[in-house]
Amino acid sequence: MKIISMKLSLLVLSFFLARSLLAADPGRAPSEQQVDAVYPQMKTLYEDLHRNPELSLHEEKTAAKIADQLRKLGYDVTTGVGGTGVVGILKNGAGPTVMIRAELDALPVLEKTGLPYASHATTHNDQGVEVPIMHACGHDLHMSVGMGTAAILAQNKANWHGTFIYVGQPAEERIMGATAMLKDGLFTRFPKPDYVFAVHDTNYAPAGKVAYVSGYAMSNADSVDVTIYGKGGHGSAPELTIDPIVIAARTILAWQTIISREKSTLDPGVITVGTIHGGTKNNIIPDEVKLQLTVRSYKDDVRQHLLAAIERVVDGEAAVAGAQKKPTVTVVEGVSAVYNDPATTQRVVSALANTLGKDNVVEGKPLMASDDFAEYGKAGVPSVMLSLGAVNPAKFDAAQKSGEPVTSPHSSLFAPDEEPSLKTGIMVETAAVLELLGK
């Protein structure tokens, strides 16, 4: 009996020791002390990036800063990938390969936040027009969060095995950068990842929380240019013309029946006419009208149906009006839907619930916004993008009570709550990467 009792005691002791070691295992998640240790450097980086933004396809100085930081951490760094893209690789023995994506580019927005590190930068865009520049979408935050993750992994190599890749991606705002990097060999010149992960700040949650969506999280997005041709003439004699403005008006309304009558009500879709240009004077009927559309969906079959139907409808309206020239319909750019791999999402969410606490990991809602992060998943790699709360919690609660919306990304007033957003982002991204790298 004494021997049995001793064995039971040893088993109990082993059980609690295993639990203690598991809870303290730094390979599962970063500690608050590790995050606090890298925070001052990431705060400095974040404020520098915010002060000095660059437009899409022109992120030379931003890319150089990211490359320099990664080299100092011991990463093998390649620049100029897909334009100004940066790839930093840290190999640490056998194991999975996990990639994170951070965007380099900013927006042509005049900053009005009043922050001490606000941007006062201007530049000339591709059309030669001088424009202000601002990190109004949080890409500076994403880069700094990723660098914090890169630093913690470099400083704690004993706690993980595999290959970690930091990708600084250009031109997300123009939905071109991911495709450019893939075409330049991101998944062939460098180790192809087993998983791709990213965070994106949001005004839909307070700082300190992270939101997830399993499956479709963001939409396909296609920019479509349409030109309708008519026969111009004097506004007092419309019977002698074929009025492209009337054709355009009928077409815009008819396009909405594609949404309401041609697809399943269970499959979301949006057709928005953002611009319409035609005519020069009130008494002149023009020869043509130009329209620009954004077309949104989640499923690929819905996407293709919407694009085909847009052309069919405008062709029909022009034919009914007797137009002698067929309209032109051109898809000028497009990006796929962000699809969060369900199994990987659940795995990451479970790890983050243990790290942040269940109350700080919440289920979000799919958006009809878009992000070219989608292209990595489209290339066959399980991918997950989570939404990082960036709003000051007190301001968020006040807005919830008042019903007033909080300032959103792409606004001249958008400013993440710096410390909690950075620290939570580093904690989230590092914990997710460690989980995907395995135990």
Strand partners, 227: 290, 328
> Phi then psi for 235, rounded to 5 degrees?
-65, -20
Q: Which helix (H) or strand (E) holds 223?
A: strand 220-229
Neighbours of 26 (CB within 10 A): 15
Cα 89 to Cα 69: distance, rounded to the nearest angstrom: 12
Q: Extract the tokens encoding 420.
A: 């909690």
Residue 341 half-sphere exposure toward CB, CA atoms < 13 A: 20
Side chain identity at residue 264, one-letter code: S
Q: Extract the tokens encoding 317.
A: 């309206």
Per CATH, the number for 220-335 is 3.30.70.360
Burial of 419 (0-12, 13-18, 19+ CB in 10 A): exposed
Q: Is 152 helix (H, G, I), strand (E, B) or coil?
A: helix
425's torsion region: left (phi>0), alpha (psi -120 to 50) or beta?
A: alpha
Side chain identity at residue 435, one-letter code: E
> Phi then psi for 110, rounded to 5 degrees?
-85, 115
Going by C-alpha positions, the residue among 439, 368, 438, 436 that lies closest to residue 196 is 436
Going by C-alpha positions, the residue among 233, 61, 70, 211 that lies closest to residue 153 is 70
> Are the C-beta atoms of 393 and 208 separated by less than 8 Å?
yes
The topology under which CATH files domain 26-219+337-437 is Aminopeptidase (3.40.630)
Q: Extract the tokens encoding 218.
A: 């963001």
Pairing mode, if any, of strands 195-206 and 97-103?
parallel
Strand partners, 103: 169
Q: Extract the tokens encoding 274.
A: 């953002």
Q: Is 159 helix (H, G, I), strand (E, B) or coil?
A: helix
Q: What is the pLDDT along the chain (439 residues), one digit of tens a residue?
A: 444 444 434 333 333 333 333 333 444 689 999 999 999 999 999 999 999 999 999 999 999 999 999 999 999 999 999 999 999 999 999 999 999 999 999 999 999 999 999 999 999 999 999 999 999 999 999 999 999 999 999 999 999 999 999 999 999 999 999 999 999 999 999 999 999 999 999 999 999 999 999 999 999 999 999 999 999 999 999 999 999 999 999 999 999 999 999 999 999 999 999 999 999 999 999 999 999 999 999 999 999 999 999 999 999 999 999 999 999 999 999 999 999 999 999 999 999 999 999 999 999 999 999 999 999 999 999 999 999 999 999 999 999 999 998 999 999 999 999 999 999 999 999 999 999 998 6
Domain map (residue ranges) of the chain: 26-219+337-437, 220-335
Continuous H helices in 329-402: 342-356, 374-378, 393-402
pLDDT value for 5? 43
Cα 420 to Cα 422: distance, rounded to the nearest angstrom: 6
User: Whole-model pTM above 0.85?
Assistant: yes
